[in-house]
Amino acid sequence: MKRIYLIILAVAFVSLAAIYYWQQRPRNLAPQDLFTGVGQGIDPDDINKVEVWAEGDTNATRLDRIKKDGNWWVKRDLKQGGFLAPAKADRIERLIKTLAGLEGETRAKGSDILGTFNLEDDQGLHILLEGPGIKTVIIAGKKGPRWDTCFVRRGSSDQVILASKNILSLFDIWSDVPEKTPGSSAWTDLRVADYRPDEIEGVSFSQGDEQWSLVRKEEKATETAGTGENSSKDTNSTTAKGKGINKNTVHKAPSAWSFTENGNTQGIPGKKAQGYLSRLFPLAATDVEDPKRAKDYGLGPGQHSGRITVHTSTKGVIIFHVGNYDLQKKAGWIQNEKGVIYRIQAEWVKTVRHPFGKDKKKNGPA
């Protein structure tokens, strides 16, 4: 081979090697060149509806912010017609903020490879975000190679992105792929009365001829003062060391309550009253019930449900309607001012109807 050809081949080899190493060199890329924004264009404050479903499962989880009061509600039991239950607003808002800020690395592109990542139109977990001028679907497919990642795509795109957050885990899905629509119960707020006993100033209950009330008496403050060394013997005063001067000391009398039942009033020690209130509050439910079945729970129109009124120092006056209870089923029912019917422990209803006493009945009135 002639020398000139060897020189040409050597120059070509060196040129190709230089190009290769130039392309492989470390580069300082801007964050927007490294990551793709999945939730780009979503303003969390504008979202008023979230709907989640696994393709093929018609029982979607629907989270709606109702315009009339600005609160979040979850749609329960869609197969039975559905009803609204109070939702965990903080959990929903965290979800929306996570989706709005979601970003990741582009891994593939093309409709022919979507099935590899469980991201076909009939696969994955579909999350619809709606608001004024916003309607975005994000599909979460397979769990990613790292524990807190997963493959996602926008519904209108065939770009596969390895998201920096495992979206499936936000819905308590721990399998590699979503197999069914996540239940709505996990998004339901079951707090019925979340105040502490020491916030309560008074409680009253009435049902037919039965009435009772428990009211905190005003605490009286006693003030003592004195001078001279002899005053140090007074347990209600304090002597400044070495000066024989007593500082004023204010003491509160022990808390006392007044309990009235069917016209008869008696004093109740503070410790006993607080013990009773601690059996009632805070109150959490085990589930919510369909309001259309209110009659089954002793809370329908014309039924003689009980009424409990709670006076608090922090949240004002709260009123609940108390329905039936069944000790065998360990269930009782209570309804708040918004019409939400909660299923609670039967013992709670029994305790309300029979304060400071024992109930020999197995069940409450039907």
- For residue 227, the model assigns a pLDDT of 45
- For residue 324, the model assigns a pLDDT of 95
Residue 221 has pLDDT above 90, yes or no: no
- For residue 179, the model assigns a pLDDT of 84
Instruction: Identify whether the C-beta of residue 219 lies closer than 8 Å to the C-beta of residue 231.
Output: no
Residue 124 has pLDDT above 80, yes or no: yes
Pairwise CA distance, residues 331 & 339, whole Å: 18
Average pLDDT, integer, range 304-315: 94
What rounded mean pLDDT belongs to the chain? 83
CA dihedral for 43, 44, 48, 53, sign (positive or negative): positive
Average pLDDT, integer, range 180-206: 94
Given the structure tokens 């601690």, which residue do they identify?
Answer: 278
**What are the tens digits of pLDDT across the range 232-285?**
444 444 444 444 444 454 444 457 899 999 889 999 999 999 999 999 999 999
Residue 302 has pLDDT above 90, yes or no: no
Pairwise CA distance, residues 272 & 239, whole Å: 35
- For residue 69, the model assigns a pLDDT of 80
The three-state secondary structure class of 249 is: strand
Confidence of residue 58 (pLDDT cuts 50, 70, 90): low
Range picked from 7-21, 56-70, 196-210 for highest mean pLDDT? 196-210
Supply the pTM of this predicted model.
0.77
Residue 314 has pLDDT above 80, yes or no: yes
- For residue 98, the model assigns a pLDDT of 95
Average pLDDT, integer, range 322-327: 95
- For residue 63, the model assigns a pLDDT of 93
Q: Of 25-39, 131-145, 294-308, which range is least confident?
A: 25-39
- For residue 309, the model assigns a pLDDT of 97
- For residue 34, the model assigns a pLDDT of 54
Residue 223 has pLDDT above 60, yes or no: no
Confidence of residue 57 (pLDDT cuts 50, 70, 90): confident
* Choice between 227 and 345, residue whose per-residue pLDDT is larger: 345
- For residue 37, the model assigns a pLDDT of 85
* Choice between 129 and 28, residue whose per-residue pLDDT is larger: 129
Residue 317 has pLDDT above 90, yes or no: yes
* Choice between 11 and 323, residue whose per-residue pLDDT is larger: 323
- For residue 5, the model assigns a pLDDT of 61
Percentage of the chain exceeding pLDDT 70: 77
Sheet with 331-335, edge to edge strand ranges: 264-269, 256-261, 210-216, 200-207, 306-312, 316-326, 331-335, 341-344, 287-289
Residue 76 has pLDDT above 70, yes or no: yes
Contacts of 179 (CB under 8 A, 6+ apart): 54
- For residue 154, the model assigns a pLDDT of 94
* Choice between 13 and 245, residue whose per-residue pLDDT is larger: 13
Average pLDDT, integer, range 107-128: 94
- For residue 254, the model assigns a pLDDT of 52
β-pair partners for 41: none
> For 194, how many CA atoms within 13 A lie in the half-sphere containing its CB?
3
CA dihedral for 143, 145, 147, 152, sign (positive or negative): negative
C-alpha torsion 260→266→271→273, nearest 10: -10
Q: Of 67-71, 72-76, 283-287, which range is least confident?
A: 67-71
Residue 81 has pLDDT above 70, yes or no: yes
